[in-house]
Amino acid sequence: MYCTVTDVKQFLPPPVTVGGNNIGTPNPGRPNEANRDKITPDQIIYFIRYAQQEIDSRLNPFYACPLRRIKTHEVEPRNNITAGTGVKISVFDSTVFAEHDLVRIQDNSGSETATITNVPNFQTIVVNSLSYNYDVDESLISILKFPDPIPTIAARLTVSYAFDRLFNAEQAPDISQYGVAQRTLAMNAMDGILTGSILLVGQDHTGRRFIRGSLYDGFKGPVADYQFGREQQG
């Protein structure tokens, strides 16, 4: 998936929660108030998949889809890493890491992925769990993520789908203005990718939009049948 449930939560306003009962301000007299629809984590995952379908359908002419995670940063640990839960790893600079980042720990024997749960200081990160031990002299820690701004686009689209569902369930207007705003912001970023002003780093190209013009047989201008010299006077 191009984003996580945690990413989606960051775009939800305070009255809306995932997995809870509070999805808005109750209105007196509304029937079945206790049984109102709510957004569950499973529903969010479905919406994230729908967002991925929307993104892939637009990017397919130019990029190989589905997109792949890339290694955005790589550092060496400063201590031996021991298997367990809540594992602390010392690094030279932890400011590039953030909570909920997906990281890969690897050595000459193999690798595994983990999620950062805390960054307590400038030289320490904490991951949720590890199954193996890693020697400080052979290990590397890498951040794995989809290229920017794909996670943000996916999260905004997911929120727009979720809000439309909530509004329909409450017999309100068909769509919410907040959902429309999130969808607009997502599509603006998507247009930036399609026009070439935003490059998705580390992805394979399927179109010719990003190829240098010198690789073509001839440069093409806005007029397809332009004639040179005496031919244009006929």
Instruction: Find all residues with CB under 8 Å of 180, minimum gap 6, and list them.
Output: 160
> Where in the chain are the domains?
5-66+149-207, 70-145
For residue 22, what pLDDT is reported?
Answer: 44
Q: What's the pLDDT score for residue 205?
A: 85
- Is pLDDT at 78 greater than 60 in this prediction? yes
pLDDT tens-digit profile of 81-107?
999 999 999 999 999 999 999 999 999
Secondary structure (DSSP) of 187-211: HHHHHHHHHTSS--TT--B-SSTTS
Q: Which CATH architecture has domain 70-145?
A: Beta Barrel (2.40)
Sign of CA dihedral 4, 169, 33, 11: positive
Arithmetic mean of pLDDT over the chain: 82
pLDDT of residue 145: 94
- Determine the average pLDDT of the residues in 155-181: 78
Largest CA distance in the chain: 83
Q: Write the pLDDT tens digit of every residue in 188-222.
A: 999 999 888 888 999 988 866 666 655 555 445 44
Mean pLDDT of 118-136: 95
Lowest mean pLDDT among 16-25, 124-133, 145-154, 221-230: 221-230
pLDDT at 76: 94
> Is pLDDT above 60 for 77?
yes
- Report residue 195 as tokens: 């026009």
What are phi and psi for residue 193, nearest 5 degrees?
A: -70, -45
Interval 9-57: pLDDT, tens: 888 876 677 765 444 444 444 444 443 447 888 889 999 999 999 999 9
Average pLDDT over residues 136-162: 94
Res 66 pLDDT > 50: yes
Q: Is the pTM of this model over 0.85?
A: no
Percentage of residues in the chain having pLDDT higher than 70: 75
